[in-house]
Amino acid sequence: MASRAEWTPPEGRIEFPDDMGTCRILTEPGHLILTHQATDPASLGRLQQIIGSNVSRFASREGLNVEWAHQSDR
């Protein structure tokens, strides 16, 4: 679904089509940090759904959990 993706360890960036938003990826020991920005609240919800379901599907054997936190929660 990405219109453009870049990966240069330990970080990357995914751009979604129709200016829906972007996702920045950062790897740290024991963590995969995904930070996403969207153009509006509906797009933000859609990005969370897309990203969360893909991470869960691809990493289900690894026991990876998706936890969302708003920037103000950090």
Q: Which of 45, 53, 48 is nearest to 34 (CA)?
A: 48
Q: What token pair was written down for 40?
A: 């509006």
Task: Tell me how far apart the alpha carbons of residues 44 and 34 are, in angstroms, rounded to a whole number.
Answer: 13
pLDDT reported for residue 31: 82
pLDDT reported for residue 64: 74
| Digit-coded pLDDT (tens) for 21-65 | 999 999 998 888 889 899 899 999 999 898 888 888 887 777 777
The dihedrals phi and psi of 19, each to the nearest 5 degrees, come to 55, 30
pLDDT reported for residue 73: 53
Domain boundaries, the chain: 4-69
Q: Which residue has better confidence, 38 or 74?
A: 38
Banded pLDDT at 72 (limits 50, 70, 90): low
